[in-house]
Amino acid sequence: MAEFDLIARIQSRVADRVTRRDDVIVGIGDDAAVLQVPAGMQLVVATDTLNAGVHFPPESAPADIGWKALAVNLSDLAAMGAEPAWCTLSLSLPDNDEAWLDAFLDGFLGLASQHRIALVGGDTTRGPLSISVTVHGFVAPGSALRRDAARVGDDVWVSGTLGDAAAALEQWRAGETGDARLRTRLDRPVPRVALGRALVGMAHACIDLSDGLLADLGHVCRGSGTGSDLDLDSLPASDALMAFANGDARRSLQVAGGDDYELCFTAPSNRLEDVQRLADSVGVQLSWVGRITAKQGVRAFDADALEWQPPRKGYEHFG
């Protein structure tokens, strides 16, 4: 297949299966897409690239790669509290493999239709396997959830459970078959889009967890001119993670593992019950994990209120 045929294939799959949106005036097929931003809304834009061997194991199933390429981008929209609308897809492929492309699109377009996000354009080139996605969404003016909006005294919350994807990566690196529950968290992260939108008006600051809680909460704290105290025993862990690791090893995966794609947000402590109700209405587990402090830096404490240092190196954002 020539590049042109690959594009035609993408175009026909999109025409067949994906959410049609009235706000796509011109989609795939012209020199550029023409899109109608709803009156009075602000546009939110994010881009993330996945490179084979860096962001996913090279032998990952193409459907998983397609899913993840969009999921990590939707996670950025979720962290801003935005409603997804459109995306573009820049594909660098080592060869014109029709079966690979079809499977990739199964994952990509399957997730896209779940979130009513339309694929409106992109670029297709030959080269090392690399996927770059740009997503566009909307927020009401001034309502985006930002990193710089935490306030002293806020509670710190996280969605879901932490450390599963990092555990799966460790198993993969060790050459083990590994736990399928953990591997799914690595291959098919679930972007917390409904949660992010529901947090608008409730949360102060919000970020999605791609680099690990310590690093990402560190970004919130630096942006907000605050610090944070984390309660290690409150960190949520899945049954699969509990079975995989204990003690410091588990804590390290939870606070520094990365690839969680959960949301970490801060909210005033008088909204605690609202946050708990929200967990029920959105159907996502939300765990209180700490507090925003005036003292700078992110610290983590164990049950004895002793400050804990992660055993692994490389936490420039810690302390």
Question: Which residue positions form the known binding site for Mg(2+)?
Answer: 31, 47-48, 76, 123, 208, 211
The smaller minimum CB distance to ligand ADP, of residues 132 and 238, is found at 132
CB 1 → Mg ion: shortest distance, Å?
A: 17
The smaller minimum CB distance to ligand ADP, of residues 120 and 166, is found at 120
Q: Which does 89 bind (CB under 5 to 8 A by kind): ligand ADP, Mg ion, none?
A: ligand ADP
Picking from 135, 102, 109, 100, the residue whose alpha carbon sits closest to that of residue 15 is 109
Binding marks (x or -) toward ligand ADP, 92..131, rule CB under 6 A? ---------------------------x-xxxx-------
Window contacting Mg ion (CB under 5 A); options: 27-35, 115-123, 153-161, 171-179: 115-123
The smaller minimum CB distance to ligand ADP, of residues 10 and 292, is found at 10
Window contacting ligand ADP (CB under 6 A); options: 24-32, 145-153, 226-234, 305-313: 24-32
What are the tokens at 131? 């996927």
CB 15 → Mg ion: shortest distance, Å?
A: 19
CB 27 → Mg ion: shortest distance, Å?
A: 15
The smaller minimum CB distance to Mg ion, of residues 5 and 123, is found at 123
Cα–Cα distances in angstroms (integers) from residue 95 to residues 40, 57, 78, in the given order: 44, 18, 33
Q: What residues form the annotated binding site?
A: 31, 47-48, 55, 76, 122-123, 147, 208, 210-211, 259, 315
Cα–Cα distances in angstroms (integers) from residue 119 to residues 11, 58, 109, 163, in the given order: 9, 25, 8, 31
Q: Which does 7 bind (CB under 5 to 8 A by kind): ligand ADP, Mg ion, none?
A: ligand ADP
Q: What residues form the annotated binding site for ATP?
A: 122-123, 147, 210
Residue from 2, 16, 22, 31 touching ligand ADP (CB under 6 A): that is: 31
The count of other CB atoms within 10 Å of the CB of residue 303 is 8
Burial class (CB in 10 A: 0-12, 13-18, 19+), 290: buried
Residue from 29, 53, 113, 123 touching Mg ion (CB under 5 A): that is: 123
Q: Which does 163 bind (CB under 5 to 8 A by kind): Mg ion, ligand ADP, none?
A: none
Window contacting Mg ion (CB under 5 A); options: 88-96, 117-125, 204-212, 272-280: 117-125
Q: Which does 124 bind (CB under 5 to 8 A by kind): ligand ADP, Mg ion, none?
A: ligand ADP
Are the C-beta atoms of residues 147 and 114 closer than 8 Å to each other? no
Binding site for ligand ADP (CB under 6 A): 7, 10, 28-31, 89, 91, 119, 121-124
